[in-house]
Structure 1
Amino acid sequence: MPSRLSEIVHHPLSPFTKRAFYAIVVLAIVMAVGTEGLMVIEGWGLVASFYFMALLATAEGPAATPATDVGKIFAAIMAFFSIGAAISAITFTFGPLFGSVLKEGVRYFEKEEERVKDKLERKNSDPKTHSS
Protein backbone atom coordinates (compact mmCIF):
# COMPACT_ATOMS: atom_id res chain seq x y z
CA MET A 1 0.00 0.00 0.00
CA PRO A 2 1.51 3.36 -1.03
CA SER A 3 2.38 5.79 1.69
CA ARG A 4 0.58 9.12 2.10
CA LEU A 5 3.76 11.01 1.20
CA SER A 6 4.11 9.00 -2.01
CA GLU A 7 0.50 9.83 -2.92
CA ILE A 8 1.15 13.54 -2.40
CA VAL A 9 4.42 13.55 -4.35
CA HIS A 10 2.93 11.65 -7.28
CA HIS A 11 -0.40 13.44 -7.19
CA PRO A 12 -1.41 14.95 -10.57
CA LEU A 13 -1.57 18.42 -9.00
CA SER A 14 1.99 18.16 -7.70
CA PRO A 15 3.46 20.24 -10.57
CA PHE A 16 0.77 22.86 -9.91
CA THR A 17 1.75 22.94 -6.25
CA LYS A 18 5.41 23.44 -7.15
CA ARG A 19 4.60 26.24 -9.60
CA ALA A 20 2.37 27.94 -7.05
CA PHE A 21 5.06 27.64 -4.39
CA TYR A 22 7.73 29.19 -6.63
CA ALA A 23 5.38 31.97 -7.70
CA ILE A 24 4.54 32.81 -4.09
CA VAL A 25 8.23 32.80 -3.14
CA VAL A 26 9.12 35.24 -5.94
CA LEU A 27 6.22 37.51 -5.05
CA ALA A 28 7.16 37.36 -1.35
CA ILE A 29 10.78 38.30 -2.16
CA VAL A 30 9.67 41.29 -4.24
CA MET A 31 7.25 42.37 -1.51
CA ALA A 32 9.93 41.99 1.18
CA VAL A 33 12.51 43.99 -0.78
CA GLY A 34 9.97 46.73 -1.49
CA THR A 35 8.73 46.86 2.09
CA GLU A 36 12.25 47.01 3.50
CA GLY A 37 13.28 49.63 0.95
CA LEU A 38 10.40 51.90 1.86
CA MET A 39 11.12 51.46 5.56
CA VAL A 40 14.74 52.52 5.03
CA ILE A 41 14.25 55.23 2.40
CA GLU A 42 11.01 56.81 3.62
CA GLY A 43 11.25 55.96 7.29
CA TRP A 44 7.79 54.39 7.22
CA GLY A 45 6.73 51.62 9.57
CA LEU A 46 6.37 47.98 8.58
CA VAL A 47 2.61 48.08 8.10
CA ALA A 48 2.59 51.31 6.05
CA SER A 49 5.43 50.03 3.84
CA PHE A 50 3.79 46.63 3.31
CA TYR A 51 0.43 48.28 2.58
CA PHE A 52 2.05 50.58 0.02
CA MET A 53 3.78 47.63 -1.69
CA ALA A 54 0.57 45.60 -1.70
CA LEU A 55 -1.21 48.43 -3.48
CA LEU A 56 1.60 48.66 -6.03
CA ALA A 57 1.68 44.90 -6.62
CA THR A 58 -2.06 44.71 -7.23
CA ALA A 59 -2.02 47.74 -9.55
CA GLU A 60 -4.37 49.63 -7.24
CA GLY A 61 -1.96 52.50 -7.00
CA PRO A 62 -0.42 53.93 -3.88
CA ALA A 63 -2.58 55.47 -1.18
CA ALA A 64 0.21 57.85 -0.14
CA THR A 65 3.04 59.34 -2.15
CA PRO A 66 6.60 58.95 -0.87
CA ALA A 67 7.96 62.23 0.49
CA THR A 68 11.49 62.05 -0.96
CA ASP A 69 12.61 61.90 -4.58
CA VAL A 70 14.63 58.76 -3.85
CA GLY A 71 11.51 57.18 -2.34
CA LYS A 72 9.46 58.08 -5.41
CA ILE A 73 12.05 56.59 -7.76
CA PHE A 74 12.31 53.47 -5.62
CA ALA A 75 8.50 53.14 -5.55
CA ALA A 76 8.34 53.52 -9.33
CA ILE A 77 10.95 50.80 -9.85
CA MET A 78 9.22 48.53 -7.34
CA ALA A 79 5.89 49.12 -9.11
CA PHE A 80 7.32 47.58 -12.27
CA PHE A 81 8.88 44.68 -10.41
CA SER A 82 5.86 43.99 -8.23
CA ILE A 83 3.23 44.06 -10.97
CA GLY A 84 5.55 41.99 -13.16
CA ALA A 85 6.03 39.49 -10.36
CA ALA A 86 2.29 39.32 -9.71
CA ILE A 87 1.42 38.77 -13.37
CA SER A 88 4.24 36.25 -13.75
CA ALA A 89 3.08 34.39 -10.65
CA ILE A 90 -0.44 34.08 -12.00
CA THR A 91 0.79 33.04 -15.45
CA PHE A 92 3.37 30.60 -14.10
CA THR A 93 0.82 29.03 -11.77
CA PHE A 94 -2.24 28.83 -14.01
CA GLY A 95 -0.71 28.94 -17.51
CA PRO A 96 -0.62 25.16 -17.99
CA LEU A 97 -4.27 24.93 -16.94
CA PHE A 98 -5.31 27.54 -19.49
CA GLY A 99 -3.18 25.78 -22.10
CA SER A 100 -4.87 22.44 -21.51
CA VAL A 101 -8.34 24.03 -21.63
CA LEU A 102 -7.43 25.73 -24.91
CA LYS A 103 -6.06 22.47 -26.30
CA GLU A 104 -9.30 20.65 -25.41
CA GLY A 105 -11.31 23.39 -27.10
CA VAL A 106 -9.26 23.08 -30.28
CA ARG A 107 -9.70 19.28 -30.24
CA TYR A 108 -13.46 19.71 -29.86
CA PHE A 109 -13.67 22.05 -32.86
CA GLU A 110 -11.48 19.74 -34.95
CA LYS A 111 -13.77 16.79 -34.18
CA GLU A 112 -16.84 18.86 -35.01
CA GLU A 113 -15.26 19.96 -38.28
CA GLU A 114 -14.52 16.34 -39.22
CA ARG A 115 -18.06 15.32 -38.28
CA VAL A 116 -19.58 18.04 -40.49
CA LYS A 117 -17.24 17.18 -43.39
CA ASP A 118 -18.17 13.49 -43.14
CA LYS A 119 -21.85 14.38 -43.08
CA LEU A 120 -21.48 16.57 -46.18
CA GLU A 121 -19.48 13.90 -48.01
CA ARG A 122 -22.14 11.27 -47.25
CA LYS A 123 -24.85 13.65 -48.42
CA ASN A 124 -22.98 14.47 -51.65
CA SER A 125 -22.20 10.82 -52.39
CA ASP A 126 -25.79 9.63 -51.78
CA PRO A 127 -27.38 8.87 -55.20
CA LYS A 128 -30.84 9.85 -53.91
CA THR A 129 -29.77 13.47 -53.48
CA HIS A 130 -28.44 13.77 -57.05
CA SER A 131 -30.98 14.11 -59.81
CA SER A 132 -29.97 13.23 -63.35
Structure 2
Amino acid sequence: MFRLLRSVRRHPLSPFSKRGLQALALFFGSIVTATFIMHLLEGWSLVDSFYYITMLTTGEGPSNSPATLVGKLFASFYSIYSVAMLLTTATLMFEPMMGYTFRRGVEFFEKEKMRLGTHQHPSTPQGQQRPSEN
Protein backbone atom coordinates (compact mmCIF):
# COMPACT_ATOMS: atom_id res chain seq x y z
CA MET A 1 0.00 0.00 0.00
CA PHE A 2 2.76 2.46 0.95
CA ARG A 3 4.75 1.46 -2.13
CA LEU A 4 1.77 2.37 -4.31
CA LEU A 5 1.38 5.76 -2.61
CA ARG A 6 5.11 6.43 -2.97
CA SER A 7 5.04 5.55 -6.67
CA VAL A 8 2.02 7.81 -7.24
CA ARG A 9 3.78 10.70 -5.52
CA ARG A 10 6.98 10.17 -7.52
CA HIS A 11 5.30 9.87 -10.91
CA PRO A 12 6.31 12.88 -13.05
CA LEU A 13 2.69 13.74 -13.87
CA SER A 14 1.36 13.32 -10.34
CA PRO A 15 -0.30 16.38 -8.81
CA PHE A 16 1.18 15.25 -5.50
CA SER A 17 4.74 16.32 -6.25
CA LYS A 18 6.90 17.72 -3.50
CA ARG A 19 6.11 21.33 -4.47
CA GLY A 20 2.41 20.56 -4.76
CA LEU A 21 2.29 18.92 -1.35
CA GLN A 22 4.20 21.81 0.21
CA ALA A 23 1.77 24.32 -1.29
CA LEU A 24 -1.19 22.23 -0.15
CA ALA A 25 0.21 22.03 3.39
CA LEU A 26 0.80 25.80 3.41
CA PHE A 27 -2.75 26.42 2.15
CA PHE A 28 -4.38 24.25 4.83
CA GLY A 29 -1.99 25.62 7.45
CA SER A 30 -3.10 29.14 6.60
CA ILE A 31 -6.76 28.13 6.97
CA VAL A 32 -6.08 26.65 10.42
CA THR A 33 -4.08 29.73 11.46
CA ALA A 34 -6.77 32.12 10.22
CA THR A 35 -9.42 30.06 12.04
CA PHE A 36 -7.59 30.53 15.35
CA ILE A 37 -7.02 34.23 14.69
CA MET A 38 -10.73 34.81 14.01
CA HIS A 39 -11.56 32.76 17.11
CA LEU A 40 -9.36 35.06 19.20
CA LEU A 41 -10.40 38.35 17.54
CA GLU A 42 -14.16 37.79 17.40
CA GLY A 43 -14.71 35.33 20.24
CA TRP A 44 -16.50 32.89 17.93
CA SER A 45 -16.37 29.14 18.41
CA LEU A 46 -13.72 27.28 16.43
CA VAL A 47 -16.40 25.74 14.23
CA ASP A 48 -17.92 29.15 13.42
CA SER A 49 -14.46 30.60 12.78
CA PHE A 50 -13.52 27.69 10.50
CA TYR A 51 -16.81 28.03 8.62
CA TYR A 52 -16.27 31.77 8.19
CA ILE A 53 -12.70 31.35 6.91
CA THR A 54 -13.56 28.58 4.45
CA MET A 55 -16.50 30.56 3.08
CA LEU A 56 -14.22 33.58 2.74
CA THR A 57 -11.61 31.46 0.94
CA THR A 58 -14.02 29.95 -1.57
CA GLY A 59 -15.73 33.24 -2.35
CA GLU A 60 -19.15 32.12 -1.17
CA GLY A 61 -19.39 34.99 1.24
CA PRO A 62 -19.70 34.47 4.97
CA SER A 63 -23.02 34.24 6.74
CA ASN A 64 -21.95 36.55 9.58
CA SER A 65 -19.63 39.53 9.63
CA PRO A 66 -16.89 40.40 12.08
CA ALA A 67 -17.94 42.93 14.70
CA THR A 68 -14.52 44.39 15.54
CA LEU A 69 -12.46 46.68 13.34
CA VAL A 70 -9.41 44.41 13.65
CA GLY A 71 -11.54 41.40 12.65
CA LYS A 72 -12.86 43.23 9.60
CA LEU A 73 -9.36 44.28 8.53
CA PHE A 74 -8.00 40.76 9.04
CA ALA A 75 -10.89 39.27 7.03
CA SER A 76 -10.31 41.75 4.21
CA PHE A 77 -6.61 41.01 3.90
CA TYR A 78 -7.10 37.29 4.39
CA SER A 79 -9.66 37.13 1.58
CA ILE A 80 -7.11 38.58 -0.87
CA TYR A 81 -4.35 36.33 0.46
CA SER A 82 -6.50 33.19 0.37
CA VAL A 83 -7.49 33.62 -3.27
CA ALA A 84 -3.85 34.08 -4.26
CA MET A 85 -2.87 31.07 -2.14
CA LEU A 86 -5.61 28.91 -3.66
CA LEU A 87 -4.50 29.79 -7.21
CA THR A 88 -0.84 29.17 -6.36
CA THR A 89 -1.65 25.79 -4.83
CA ALA A 90 -3.71 24.73 -7.84
CA THR A 91 -0.98 25.89 -10.21
CA LEU A 92 1.77 24.00 -8.38
CA MET A 93 -0.32 20.85 -8.11
CA PHE A 94 -1.44 20.70 -11.74
CA GLU A 95 1.60 22.23 -13.45
CA PRO A 96 3.23 18.85 -14.23
CA MET A 97 0.12 17.61 -16.04
CA MET A 98 -0.47 20.89 -17.87
CA GLY A 99 3.19 21.13 -18.89
CA TYR A 100 3.11 17.57 -20.21
CA THR A 101 -0.08 18.23 -22.17
CA PHE A 102 1.34 21.46 -23.60
CA ARG A 103 4.61 19.78 -24.64
CA ARG A 104 2.70 16.94 -26.32
CA GLY A 105 0.58 19.47 -28.21
CA VAL A 106 3.65 21.38 -29.41
CA GLU A 107 5.32 18.12 -30.50
CA PHE A 108 2.18 17.13 -32.41
CA PHE A 109 2.02 20.44 -34.26
CA GLU A 110 5.74 20.32 -35.05
CA LYS A 111 5.34 16.83 -36.53
CA GLU A 112 2.33 17.95 -38.56
CA LYS A 113 4.24 20.98 -39.80
CA MET A 114 7.11 18.77 -40.91
CA ARG A 115 4.73 16.28 -42.53
CA LEU A 116 2.84 18.99 -44.40
CA GLY A 117 6.05 20.70 -45.43
CA THR A 118 7.23 17.60 -47.31
CA HIS A 119 3.92 16.98 -49.10
CA GLN A 120 2.04 19.09 -51.58
CA HIS A 121 -0.46 21.46 -50.05
CA PRO A 122 -4.06 20.73 -51.17
CA SER A 123 -4.64 24.31 -52.36
CA THR A 124 -1.75 24.34 -54.87
CA PRO A 125 -2.48 23.09 -58.42
CA GLN A 126 -0.87 19.88 -59.63
CA GLY A 127 2.70 20.39 -60.84
CA GLN A 128 3.30 23.71 -59.04
CA GLN A 129 5.58 24.09 -56.08
CA ARG A 130 4.23 25.45 -52.83
CA PRO A 131 5.83 28.81 -51.91
CA SER A 132 8.15 28.63 -48.93
CA GLU A 133 6.79 30.04 -45.69
CA ASN A 134 9.87 31.65 -44.18
TM-score computed with the length of structure 1 as normaliser: 0.79
Is the CA contact 2:12–2:96 (under 8 Å) kept in the aligned structure 1?
Answer: no
Compute the RMSD of aligned alpha carbons.
Answer: 2.7
**Structure 2 runs not aligned, ≥5 long:** 129-134
TM-score computed with the length of structure 2 as normaliser: 0.78
Structure-2 separation of matches of 1:16 and 1:106 = 22
CA deviations on 1:28-87 (whole Å, 9 max, x unpaired) are 111011101110101111111111111121122222211111110010111122112111
Amino acid at match of 1:94: F
* Matching residue of 2:81: 81
Length, aligned pairs only: 123
Partner SS state of residue 129, structure 1: coil
Sequence identity percentage: 30
Structure-1 separation of matches of 2:103 and 2:12 = 18
Partner SS state of residue 23, structure 2: helix
**Structure 1 runs not aligned, ≥5 long:** none
* Matching residue of 2:31: 31
Q: Is the helix fraction higher in 1 or 2? A: 1
Is the CA contact 1:56–1:83 (under 8 Å) kept in the aligned structure 2?
Answer: no
Moved more, 12-21 or 38-47: 12-21
